[in-house]
Amino acid sequence: MAGNVIGKYLYGRGRGRLAVGLCVLSTCLLPLHLKADSYPSLSCADAPSQAPFTTAHEWLVASVYAGHCFEFQARAVSIDAIGVRTLALSHRVRDGVRQQVVQHLDGPSVSVERRSIAGHLAWFPAGESDSVSAPEAWAEHVAEYYDITLQDETRVAERDAVELRFSPIDSQRYQHTWWIDQATGLLLKHVLSDAQGRVLETFQVTQLRSPTAYSGEVPRPTDEQMLDQPWQATWLPEGFVEQPLEPGQQSGQRVYSDGLAAVSVFVSPASQPALEEGLHRVGVSNAAVLLIDVGDQSWQLVGIGELPVELLQRIVQSVQFE
């Protein structure tokens, strides 16, 4: 979610949304009216030096900068219940826009491209200090809901790496393990596991080619996009925060994240044929579909995310119209 997984963010979220057939706090949340030009952002000039870091927090912050500030080509493999896929990845920045491309190397030729504003991050509230940077606010938020342990001296794809283990402090999220490249801060491997320790997905870079630090300017956006929907989810797992609208995001969509996991909720007029109501499995993601009537209008509610299915269902059932 922080934008620092090599291709995984693009591949996993995009695949989930397409596969489901869509065009992917214990308290009520009010809509966040955030303008695009007020999004949290980072400057590659502020990236920490690549001297060896000693804490999990330092590596987390470095990984955020690396995900935005390195251009590269890579090969990767994704393993989950669907099967094994080999992928070609690329990441570059042009005219202030990040271009992430994933090409499937097995089976039918499939290429997916995602464009996003360079340097602009997911939104999480800063701590007590107003001087905390956006990457640091994200890292601090993650640490509130996961116990993070750091292990060094490991290798992935013939590169020296450090291992970070994220163990949830409650039963409302999955376990994550990251392997971060020591030379660049790029995420080389991600393993997602359930509460019983069963591996749900492994995503691993097998070859990283020509990682080059990006040093160009990142222009600020001029358009103002608002998250202003006539509905909202009134219950979320603790720590999940609504995210600002991104370019290309559907008007009937809200996205919530705890920093590692993300949940997308889609609301649209029910049409024929509607998606089958109930719970569905979409790769490593779960999906919940609910049909409701509000006045004389029927609505289809869909939630998809890497959360235990009972929590995802509860989120969808909590949607209320204004």
Which letter does DSSP use for residue 36 in this model?
G
Q: Where in the chain is the domain with CATH 2.50.20.10?
A: 8-20+36-213
Q: Which amino acid, residue 234? A: T
**pLDDT classification of 271: cutoffs 50, 70, 90:** confident
Say yes or no to pLDDT of 4 above 60.
Answer: no
Phi, psi of 37 (to 5 degrees): -80, 5
Q: Which fold has domain 8-20+36-213?
A: outer membrane lipoprotein receptor (LolB), chain A (2.50.20)
What digits encode the pLDDT tens for the residues 124-182? 776 655 557 888 889 999 999 999 999 878 999 999 999 999 999 998 899 999 999 99
Q: Which fold has domain 231-321?
A: Phosphorylase Kinase; domain 1 (3.30.200)
The confidence score (pLDDT) of residue 273 equals 67
Buried b vs exposed e over 54-90: b needs ≥16 C-beta within 10 Å? eebbbbbbbbbbbbbbbbbebbbbbebeeeebebbbb
Q: Where in the chain is the domain with CATH 3.30.200.100?
A: 231-321
What pTM did the predictor assign?
A: 0.82
48 contacts 68 by C-beta, under 8 angstroms: no
Q: What is the distance between the alpha carbons of residues 133 and 127, in angstroms, rounded to a whole number?
A: 10
The confidence score (pLDDT) of residue 244 equals 76
